[in-house]
Amino acid sequence: MSRARPELRKEARRLFLSGEMETNAEVATYLKVKAHTVGVWRREEAWDETKRKAERHAAEKFAKTIATQTVNTNLKHLKAWDVILGRLVQTIDKPDGEAVKILDRQASILERAQRGQRLGRGLSVDGQTEERIRAEAHATTRHLIDLFLDTVKECVPDEQTRDRIGERLMAALPRQAGVGATDDDESDAH
Could you tell me which residue, 41 or 115, shows the higher pLDDT?
41
- In the structure, what pLDDT confidence band is assigned to residue 154 with cuts at 50, 70 and 90? confident
What CA–CA distance (Å, rounded) separates 144 from 117? 35
- In the structure, what pLDDT confidence band is assigned to residue 126 with cuts at 50, 70 and 90? low
Nearest to 123 by CA among 135, 112, 111, 131: 131
Could you tell me which residue, 86 or 45, shows the higher pLDDT?
45
Nearest to 63 by CA among 118, 142, 173, 149: 142
Domain ranges for the chain, please list them.
Answer: 1-45+160-190, 54-134
Model pTM score: 0.45
Could you tell me which residue, 105 or 96, shows the higher pLDDT?
105
